[in-house]
């Protein structure tokens, strides 16, 4: 798993450096690894209409879906912060759409120090696709 973690960190760091953040100057990168082993990076993309901003995590997920993948095995988020950077609430729910409760999430700071957690720990009582199917 160490090799996979390093791949995620390298890809997310590179993506962070490509972020488009002229308004906040807050650059974020993400990278995810699918259950089939494919790697997808993403960066934040701001817009003068702030509500149209796309977070790095959702950018990576959109790339994954466009490539035909549907299952996140792990995802890493890195930003220019002293603290470990967690996904925002909206990103947590979008991650959940393509994950399981034990999906690994790495939250990293500007030094590349990371904290490992799982989706169920940062988004308890998650509503998953399987829950919707049971309601039918």
Catalytic residues: 57
The residue among 67, 62, 53 whose CA lies nearest residue 22 is 53
Sorted by sequence, the CB contacts under 8 Å of residue 80 that are 6+ apart come out as: 16, 26, 27, 110
Q: Identify the residue whose tokens are 């974020």.
A: 28
Q: Check: CB of residue 85 under 8 Å from CB of residue 66.
A: no
Structure tokens at 48: 């003068």
| CA 67 to centroid of chain Cα atoms | 16
Q: Check: CB of residue 68 under 8 Å from CB of residue 85.
A: no
User: Do strands 104-108 and 72-79 pair parallel, antiparallel, or not at all (unpaired)?
Assistant: parallel
């Amino acid at each position: 798993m160490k090799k996979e973690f390093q791949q995620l960190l390298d890809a997310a760091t590179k993506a962070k450096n490509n972020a488009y953040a002229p308004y906040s100057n807050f650059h974020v990168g993400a990278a995810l690894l699918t259950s089939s082993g494919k790697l997808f990076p993403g960066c934040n993309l701001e817009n003068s209409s702030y509500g149209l901003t796309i977070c790095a995590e959702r950018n990576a997920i959109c790339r994954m879906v466009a490539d035909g993948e549907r299952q996140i095995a792990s995802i890493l988020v890195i930003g220019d912060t002293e603290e470990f950077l967690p996904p925002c609430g909206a990103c947590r729910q979008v991650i959940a759409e393509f994950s399981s409760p034990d999906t690994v999430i790495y939250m990293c700071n500007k030094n590349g120090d990371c904290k490992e957690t799982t989706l169920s720990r940062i988004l308890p009582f998650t509503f998953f696709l399987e829950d919707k199917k049971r309601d039918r």
